[in-house]
Amino acid sequence: MNIVLLGAPGAGKGTQAAKLVEEFGTPHISTGDMLRAAVKAGTELGKKAKSFMDAGDLVPDDVIIGLVTERLGEPDTEKGFILDGFPRTSAQAVALDAELSKLGRPLSAALLIDVDSEVIVKRLTSRRMCKECGFIGSEANAQCPKCGGEMYQRDDDNEATVRNRLDVYEKSTSPLIDYYRGCDLLVSIDGDRDPNAVYADVKKALEL
């Protein structure tokens, strides 16, 4: 199960990845987490990445690909991996394919959690988080159902920001969806349903 996870912000990628990790123990590899860990550990690639991050620039493809390749060389990925947040462009997808080919571990699927953008706008603008324990709920939760803490709306969950994030996603990721469709690897799942129903379809599509 070597998977690339695709989907707009708020589509529910994290929820589905967490379910796969829980049931199958497959490592969930988030490039954001990896970058932060490499910087903290002070590795060569981490130092390179930090100089770009400190300047507010995008980390170049070769550094990201180096980090991903390094991570995929670790023993826990031998039974599979779920890549989240990478690749972000067609060029990165081509480079990833080349590295996986060298490792003899090609992708089994590019899993797209597909949700209409208007549904995502509604979903994210009504999202609320607990200040105490981080529980994610909705505007229906006046207080946290887990710990009773105060619920608040994140700054980036306002409508203008959400729409901007969706525009950026659309421009950068649409070519990627076409790329994986062309490679016959794209698996599209309707994400606008109960997460358990979505997960049942994910497992079916991945033949798990």
pLDDT band, very low/low/confident/very high, at 35 (cuts 50, 70, 90): confident
pLDDT band, very low/low/confident/very high, at 125 (cuts 50, 70, 90): very high
Q: Which of 19, 36, 105, 127 is catalytic?
A: 127
For the record, the structure tokens of 12 come out as: 């529910």
pLDDT band, very low/low/confident/very high, at 192 (cuts 50, 70, 90): very high
Q: For residue 123, which amino acid is it?
A: R
13 noted as active-site residue: yes
- From the list 32, 34, 5, 31, the residue with the least C-alpha distance to 17 is 5
Q: Which of 40, 47, 154, 204 is catalytic?
A: 154
Question: How many CA atoms, within 13 angstroms, populate the side-chain half-sphere of residue 128?
Answer: 17
Residue 141 vs residue 32, higher pLDDT: 141
Mean pLDDT of 86-106: 90
40 noted as active-site residue: no
For the record, the structure tokens of 57 come out as: 């620039």
**pTM of this structure:** 0.79
181 noted as active-site residue: no
Buried b (16+ CB within 10 A) or exposed e, 57-68: eebebebbbbbb
Q: Average the pLDDT over each of 62-76, 119-133, 175-189 and give the range with the smallest value.
A: 62-76
For the record, the structure tokens of 156 come out as: 């980036």
102 noted as active-site residue: no
88 noted as active-site residue: yes
- For residue 31, count other CB atoms closer than 10 A to its CB: 19
Contact 96, 86 (CB under 8 A): yes
What pLDDT is stored for residue 48 in this prediction? Answer: 86
Rounded to whole angstroms, the Cα distance separating 10 from 77 reads 26
